[in-house]
Amino acid sequence: MKVHINQNRPGTAPGLIFTAPYTAFGERMIGQTGALIMDQCGDPVWFRPLANRYIQNTDFRVQSYRGRQVLTMWQGTISGTQSANPDLPAGDPEPGAFFQILDSHYRVIKKITAGEGYTADVHEFTITRRNTALFTAVKQVPADLTPYGGPEKGYIDDYSIQEVDLETGELLFFWNTLDHINPADSMLPASSASSTNNIWDCYHLNSVEGGCDGTLLVSMRNMWAIYQIDKKTGAVQWQLGGRKSDFTIAPGSGFSWQHDARYRWGSRISLFDDACCASENDPPQGQSRGLILYLDFQRKTAKADRTYYHAPGLFAASQGNVQQLENCNQFIGWGQEPYLSEFAQGGNTTVNPLINFLYDVRFPNQNISYRSFKNRWIGCPLCPPCIAVRRNTCGVTVYASWNGATEVAAWQVYSGCDRAKLSPVGCCVPRSGFETAIPLKCAGSFYRVAAMDACGKVLGTSCIVTLPKRISHNKVNPLEILI
């Protein structure tokens, strides 16, 4: 997909942008679903398309596994993207979903599925410092929903948190919502199950993060609440927000339908406050925003420490995330709204949302991404660079690209009349975007390109291609591509 850069001011953090485009059922998908790395100009660095628009990636990001950078993501079909009447609540994973880990060569080195009869969930997959995987999963449990105002023969979406050993696959930890959280506290009425195949998505657990003291920080969208859980006992230590909050929340500091709760320094947590909406009939609670809260554990109060609003204001009906960058800037994926943004640490307000608003990208049409991230990344694909050659009236143009290669600084063209004796043609040409066009006046019969790093070292060479023999004036210029 091609994106539009709305804002690009000085002060942004270094790194590449990681996103995973898809769209809702009934919307026109621009480009393909898949995992996409972009630079800050919006040019692709690496893209891995999926087979069709009804398969998606989510939570695509850089993590560390055994001391090395890896890419991680969820893959499957999100309910609500393949049919106007899905069999599961919108946002649930369809059966068969899995997580995967890719190395710096873009090879899949691990594929992880959920255990205990649950389906790997779109929301969370984290590699811990112990090189284990902590993730969310969900299954539908039969339940009589009449005590809550729903159908008698119903189901509850029971979310679980699972941790597995990535080497052996052994299940190390299991915790589920139905055994610990009362469904009656949900902000989503049980009557909603009648429109979702009698399944009540009362919790919608959408993030989990491990603390350094054996705790888990958990967000449940449909409870409007964030919980801290004692990992050893499974007990809820405290609840923030929702019907039974242990904290008094200061005016202007509340949140609803939230995502992506994270521990921050000094008794702070961050979250993406969707403030909108379980259904089309629900009025927004306010503009969506990134929110950092300060928690006073003695007084049991919570107060907004920083807020991050988009300009113009957005109302994200679902999804979204807030990431702290290495320079303390905040990077925000706006979920169901087709934007991603970067803010200076100080944040802004609805009165002047342009303060500290450094960078903004808009996706085409209604393309969206569950989360978006910014990270440093070095990619070294094992496949060779790609080359294409086209004749023109002045000579030839050579096109060079290398999907996923992050260290290419320049391209050197080699040409000749004997494929065994190719010589450099002209000087190295600086890389310009995903595909670099190199015009040449002199034309040999055979061509090859070499990718060079900033120090002039050859990183890889393409296959040799043959120059098309003539220009066709009635058809598109002939083109030879070897991939």
- pLDDT by residue (tens digit) across 151-201? 999 999 999 999 999 999 999 999 999 999 999 999 999 999 999 999 999
pLDDT at 443 over 80: no
Q: Are residues 42 and 175 in the same domain?
A: yes
Alpha-carbon gap, residue 77 to 54, rounded angstroms: 6
What is the CA 173 to chain-centroid distance, rounded? 25
Q: What is the pLDDT of residues 287-340, one digit of tens each?
A: 999 999 999 999 999 999 999 999 999 999 999 999 999 999 999 999 999 999
SS3 at position 221: helix
Residues 288 and 430 in one domain: no
Per the structure, the complete domain to which residue 402 belongs is given by 386-482
One domain, residues 366 and 460: no
- Indicate the residue among 375, 403, 437 that finishes a domain: 375
| Domain end marker among 375, 404, 435 | 375
Final residue belonging to a domain, choices 375, 402, 424? 375
Give the least confident one: 211-215, 217-221, 335-339. Answer: 211-215
Query: Does one domain contain both 35 and 184?
Result: yes
For the domain that residue 433 is a member of, what is the CATH number? 2.60.40.10
In a domain, 380, yes or no: no
Q: Is there a single domain that holds both residue 307 and residue 370? A: yes
Report the alpha-carbon angle 284-300-239, nearest 5.
55
Measured on CA atoms in the order 105, 110, 114, 119, is the torsion positive or negative? positive
Instruction: Report if residue 302 sits inside a domain.
Output: yes
Residues 416, 395, single domain; the answer is yes
Helix %, strand %, coil % of the chain (to 5):
5, 45, 50
Identify whether residues 333 and 422 lie together within a single domain.
no
The reply to whether 115 and 168 lie within a common domain is yes
**Do 93 and 122 meet the contact criterion of CB atoms below 8 Å apart?**
yes
413 and 297 belong to one structural domain:
no
User: What is the per-residue pLDDT for 37?
Assistant: 98
Kindly provide the b/e burial profile for residues 39-51, where b requires at least 16 CB atoms within 10 angstroms of the residue's own CB: ebebebbbbbebe
What does the alpha-carbon distance between residue 255 and residue 249 come to, in Å, rounded to a whole number? 9
54, 444 Cβ separation under 8 angstroms = no
Q: Model-level pTM?
A: 0.94
Domain total in the chain: 2
The answer to whether position 381 is within a domain reads no
Is 90 exceeded by the pLDDT of residue 219? yes
Q: Is 193 helix (H, G, I), strand (E, B) or coil?
A: helix
Are 37 and 153 within one domain?
yes
| Distances 340 to 105, 358, 466 between C-alpha atoms, Å | 27, 11, 42
Same domain? For 357 and 439 the reply is no
In a domain, 343, yes or no: yes
**CA dist., res. 109 & res. 210, Å (int):** 24
- CA distances, 82 to each of 75, 93, 264, 278 (Å): 15, 12, 37, 20
